[in-house]
Amino acid sequence: MATSPSFSRPATARGPAVAFEGVGKAYGGTVAIAGVDARISPGTFVAIVGSSGSGKSTLLKTVNRLIEPDHGSVRIDGADVAAQELHQLRRSIGYVFQNIGLFPHMTVAQNIGIGSRLASGKPLPDDRVTALLDLVDLPRDFATRLPEQLSGGQQQRVGVARALAGAPGLMLMDEPFGALDPVTRETLGEQYRALHEQLGLTTIMVTHDMAEALLFADRIWVMASGRIVADATPAQLIAGRCGPEAEALVAVPRLQAERITAMRAAGPAA
């Protein structure tokens, strides 16, 4: 993904601060999130990890109000999201999720510009579409293709471009590259991290891949049973002492790295 002067936010731009204050949500007897208090500084990349059902997606979706909490509040730069007009709130936040959900009958350009069309009735100008395609490293002539003519990784790039079309300061990503092969996933993760820097974003990303979290995030939240049980930097997590849930998650990539190192040291098998 590349620098595109016609799109970039101002060089001094910094994504907003995000604060969760006593945020809780239950479904019947199931507590999905249990009174989360946490803060994200402007411009930080936070990865949320944790076992299945620990509440990661529910917490993420309280930010753009895809889920309304039962109690507590989420604040973006101090403003309670519950008090904001819903469409305006969602237009100001980029949202990327697994199996991105492009409209199959619309071209790539129309998919990227869907937010603009819904908001103003007007398509996104061609030069903006071009700038966004440049930004996510897709050829410009893809603008006229249909989603079915793209690979899964290319479709996810369109999803990132669509999320960036409204020039948001905050990006929410829910397993954005989870359905892709490991090589494409690594490339997209790395390129997205560069975009996060370049555009001065605040990013919150849910991932099942601890290695991805360790490599790309500034801070990692480990969730268990609806709570954040560790909030640490990648270096702190790797060093240990962040609790059993964090240790169990870090153990997987650590063990894999150790095994591969041992295999390399042993040399090629006869």
**What residues line the site for ligand ATP (CB under 6 A)?**
27, 30, 32, 50, 52-58
Q: Decide whether 66 or 82 has the Cβ nearer to ligand ATP.
A: 66
Minimal distance in Å, beta carbon 56 to ligand ATP? Answer: 4
Spatial separation of the C-alpha atoms in residues 48 and 24, rounded to whole Å = 16
Question: 198, 229 in Cβ contact below 8 A?
Answer: no
Given its phi and psi angles, is residue 121 left (phi above 0), alpha (psi -120 to 50 degrees) or beta?
Answer: left
CB nearer to ligand ATP: pick between 24 and 55: 55
CB of 35 to ligand ATP, least distance (A): 14
**By three-state DSSP, how is residue 123 classified?**
coil
Tell me which residue of 70, 73, 11 sits closest to 43, measured CA to CA. 11
Q: Which CB sits closer to ligand ATP, 131 or 228?
A: 228
Rounded to whole angstroms, how far apart are CA atoms 62 and 172?
11
Asked if residue 190 lies in contact with residue 158, where contact means CB atoms within 8 angstroms, the answer is no
> Judged by CB, which is closer to ligand ATP: 58, or 155?
58
The nearest distance, CB 99 to ligand ATP, in angstroms, is 13
Task: At 5, list the tokens.
Answer: 């002067």
> To the nearest whole angstrom, how small is the minimum distance from the Cβ of residue 51 to ligand ATP?
7
Work out how close the CB of 219 gets to ligand ATP at its nearest, in angstroms, rounded to a whole number: 18
| Smallest separation, CB 221 to ligand ATP (Å) | 11
Nearer to ligand ATP, 202 or 207 (CB): 207
Separation of first and last alpha carbons in the chain: 42
Nearer to ligand ATP, 99 or 261 (CB): 99
Q: Looking at the DSSP assignment, which residues form a beta bridge with residue 7?
A: none
Distance between CA atoms of residues 158 and 152, nearest Å: 10
